[in-house]
Amino acid sequence: MKLRVIAAAVLLLTAACSPGSGEGGGGDGKSFEFWSFSGINQKAAVEEYKKKKPDVEVKLTEVGNAQETAQGLTTALAGGKVPDLVLIQGDDLPKFVEQPQNFVDLKTLGADEIKGDYLDWVMSQSIAKDGQILGIPTDVGGMAMAYRTDLFAAAGLPTDRESVGKLWPDWNAFIETGKRYTEKTGQPFIDNAATSVFYQAVNQGSQKYYDDKHELIYSTNPHVKSAFELGIKAAQAGITAKQSSFAEGWSAAMQQGKFAALAAPSWMLNAIRSNAPETAGKWDLAAIPGKSGNWGGSYLAIPKRAKNPKAAWDYIKTMQSPQGQLEHFVTSGALPTTPSVYQDPQLTGRNEPFFSNAPIGKIYPDSLLGLKPFYIGPDSTTIGTEFLDAITNVEQNNGNPATAWDDAVRNIKTAIGK
């Protein structure tokens, strides 16, 4: 993961050095360049597309992780060579939605006709102020809690996913369960408090850092404050392995069973599989405390200066149709954004062998049903990171829990100037 930072930096440099590639045109319609990020297996989707359209050439580049890909795209848009098609993570999207002039309005290619296929609240996040449609959603997160059945059994906790879900109707009950586990085994219960508790809880409100008028309310929204306090409570309960998500130690701890549960949106399943392949069959998935929520999701967009916007649009239309997303779900597990397939037996019947045959086709769509969507703004990522850092500081670095909230708010003010 870390090496990719360097790879991305090199790409940024080359992108920055190459002169502008001229205004977009129709292109030959037979080839296009596609920037994606790593870890979500876009290769599989491209392979599927090639089977359908053998005469089209797709040049896929995995730039780096999602954030690095957004950075590469920014530099490219600022004056480098742009791809014809780019995958943007939901959290990075608002910055681009604020500057829609950099992208093709997908309505000009026919996005209006297919707009209704997608979850309203997911689609609305990629619509700019003037009504321009910037991107088509490829997947949503949905939420679940992944847990180790063998470790739960050793701690005397139930192991079947129904009973486990009942252990934690809410986050306080979840933390209590963690205390029981840790008392019994002497081992930490979850990977960390910041992402596995705060980040999940804060995403379960009807408003987060912005209100419906897009005004900042991160410091006054009681929901954010209570989610933050849950995070601090979990950090102080002594139930966490103090491993930051995606850090070196996190992977090692996962492989060695140093924690028994972690929050797992649908795309996390792949991370667990590839990080700890020898734990196959020892995992299962239960409902998240509070039942509903979403973490993550991505969009496909076409930069304004793309040379082959038509070929890129054909890819979007083919692969992101309800049928296309359903097929991709069956092979990769990424949850579709097209609710019309949520009742399809291919989806509802999908089980995940690595996770004790957990019915992911039911768990993840269910977690989206009670969802109250909120507005994600241009500073949401920065605000979220500062909150996460404040909790991590209490958890891993003996930070003062009493001042953590004020510190976080002050840091956010410094960072975004508001």
Partner 1 sequence: MSTTLAPVPVAPAEPPAPRVGTPLRERLAPYAYIAPFFVLFAVFGLFPFLFTFYVALFDWNPIGDHTFIGFDNFTRMLDDPRFWNATRNTVSIWFLSTVPQLFLALLLAHLLNHARLRAALFFRMSVLVPYVTSVAATAIVFAQLFDRDFGLLNWLLGLVGVEPVDFVQSTFGSHVVIAAMVTWRWFGYTTLLYLASLQAVPRDVYESAAIDGAGGWQRFRHITIPALRPVIIFTVITSTIGGLQIFTEPLLVSPGSTLTCGAVRQCQTLTLMLYEQGFGRYEFGYGSAIGVALFLMVVAVAAVNYLLSSRIKADR
**Which residues are at the interface with partner 1 (CB under 8 A)?**
1-3, 5-6, 12, 65, 67, 71, 74-75, 77-78, 95-96, 98-99, 102, 241-250, 252-253, 256, 258, 382, 385, 388-390, 392-393, 396-397, 399, 414-415, 417
> Minimum distance from CB of 295 to partner 1 (Å)?
16
Nearer to partner 1, 99 or 346 (CB): 99
In whole angstroms, the minimum distance from the beta carbon of 248 to partner 1 comes to 6
- Taking the least distance from each CB to partner 1, the nearer of 151 and 335 is 151
CB of residue 99 to partner 1, shortest distance in Å: 4
Dihedral sign for Cα atoms in the order 5, 6, 10, 11: negative
Interatomic CA distance for residues 358 and 346, integer angstroms? 15
Phi, psi for residue 34 in degrees, rounded to 5: -130, 120
162-178 CB burial, b ≥16 within 10 A, e <16: eebbebbeebeebbebb
**Structure token pair of residue 214:** 């897009």
The one-character DSSP state at 193 is H
| Nearest distance in Å: CB 1, partner 1 | 6
Give the nearest distance from C-beta 252 to partner 1 in angstroms.
5
For partner 1, which is the closer residue by CB, 103 or 329?
103
Minimum CB separation of residue 407 from partner 1 in Å reads: 9
Task: Considering the complex, state which of residue 211 and residue 389 has its C-beta at the smaller distance from partner 1.
Answer: 389
The least CB distance from residue 22 to partner 1, in Å, is: 18
In terms of C-beta density within 10 A (0-12 exposed, 13-18 middle, 19 or more buried), how is residue 418 classed?
Answer: exposed
Please give the C-alpha separations between residue 251 and each of 45, 271, 383, in angstroms, as whole numbers. Answer: 26, 9, 26
Which residue's CB is nearer to partner 1, number 253 or number 371? 253
Name which of 115 and 304 has its Cβ closer to partner 1: 304
Comparison of 45 and 241: residue with beta carbon closer to partner 1: 241
CB of 268 to partner 1, least distance (A): 15
**Residues whose CB is less than 8 angstroms from the CB of residue 67 and which lie 6 or more positions away in sequence, other chains included:** 89, 92
Lookup result for tokens 């590469």: 72
Q: Which is nearer to partner 1, 212 or 248 (CB)?
A: 248
Phi-psi region of 214 (alpha: psi -120 to 50; beta: other; left: phi over 0): left
User: Residue 214: CB partners within 8 Å, gap ≥ 6?
Assistant: 375, 377
**Minimum Å distance from CB 78 to partner 1?**
4
How far is residue 173's CA from residue 116's CA, in Å, rounded to a whole number? 39
Instruction: Report the run of H or E that residue 139 belongs to, with start and end.
Output: strand 135-140
Tokens matching residue 140: 């949503």
For helices 380-397 and 222-236, angle between their N-to-C axes, nearest 10 degrees: 30
Given the complex with partner 1, which of 49 and 295 has the nearer CB atom?
295
Edge-to-edge order in the sheet of strand 135-140: 57-62, 31-36, 85-89, 297-301, 135-140
